[in-house]
Amino acid sequence: MPDNASAQQPGQPAQGPNEHYHQPLNQPRALRIGVAGPVGTGKSSILATLCRELAGELSMAVVTNDIYTDEDARFLRSAGVLPTERIRAVETGACPHTAIRDDVSANLDAVEDLEEAYGPLDLVLIESGGDNLTATFSPALADAQLFSIDVAGGGDVARKGGPGITGADLLVINKTDLAPHVEVDVAAMVADAERARDGLPVLALSKHDPESIARLADWVRAVLVRHRSGTHVPTDPGPMAPHSHSHDGS
């Protein structure tokens, strides 16, 4: 299915198990930033950090994705980073990439429901379920993409490549405060990532480092400025590598 095949037309019914209508928005559409990365790399923590930093100046909402639960949404609600009603969970029931790339209708429904209920919104953050290094968002869903890896995954992760690492709008090397404990050289990891990304930005991040948090928030602000001016063009890091999963124990 083409990546944009699931893009809902204004005033048309959402396609999926809970079909319903969305009226055309009489307001500017929010910037949508997708956050992807392997399991355990701190995606939910990144969302919580951005909400803490930006909710005082921007009207925000969050959509999380999990296969069978709403665990990430519950984490964010319990953290108190946004009003609980502005945090929606999508239970994909399938591989995480399915709902962010192959058929984005459930996520589009959640985003558009939030915009109708609480708009005008400035920013919607969409967290993918944990996947592999090739996970990417369809441009029909996300205007910009952040991909998270972390030092605990090993100092060689950035060298392994994949569309998420090489093509996302921002690559975050997360949990840098743990580097001494896992014997990872953060500077070398950043250098590897920069070589893999051919000039695209790389950010070494720790939730305990205010300077790195400020740089993350500034990146979001810069994308938002371009989005509002009409100069930001969503890019596609590339399709995931062909692969399959078995979910039935077979």
Whether residue 212 lies inside any domain: the answer is yes
DSSP β-ladder status, 144-150 and 123-127: unpaired
Whether 240 is covered by a domain: the verdict is no
d(CA 2, CA 129) in angstroms, rounded, equals 21
* Residue 37 marked ligand-binding: yes
The answer to whether position 247 is within a domain reads no
Check residue 12 and report its DSSP letter.
S
In a domain, 219, yes or no: yes
CATH assignment at residue 38: 3.40.50.300
Q: Which residue range forms the structural domain that includes residue 139?
A: 31-228
* Alpha-carbon gap, residue 16 to 65, rounded angstroms: 16
pLDDT for 217-229, tens place per residue?
A: 999 999 999 999 9
39 among the known binding-site residues? Answer: yes
Give CA angle at 162 (157, 167), nearest 5°. 110
Backbone phi, then psi, for 6, in 5-degree steps?
Answer: -90, 0
Within-domain flag for 55? yes
Tell me whether residue 38 is annotated as binding. Answer: yes
41 annotated to a ligand binding site: yes
In the structure, what pLDDT confidence band is assigned to residue 134 with cuts at 50, 70 and 90?
confident
Q: What is the pLDDT of residues 93-131, one digit of tens each?
A: 877 778 899 899 999 999 999 999 999 999 999 999 887
Per residue in 16-48, pLDDT (tens digit) is 444 545 455 567 899 999 999 999 999 999 999
Residue 66, in any domain of the structure: yes
The total number of structural domains in the chain stands at 1
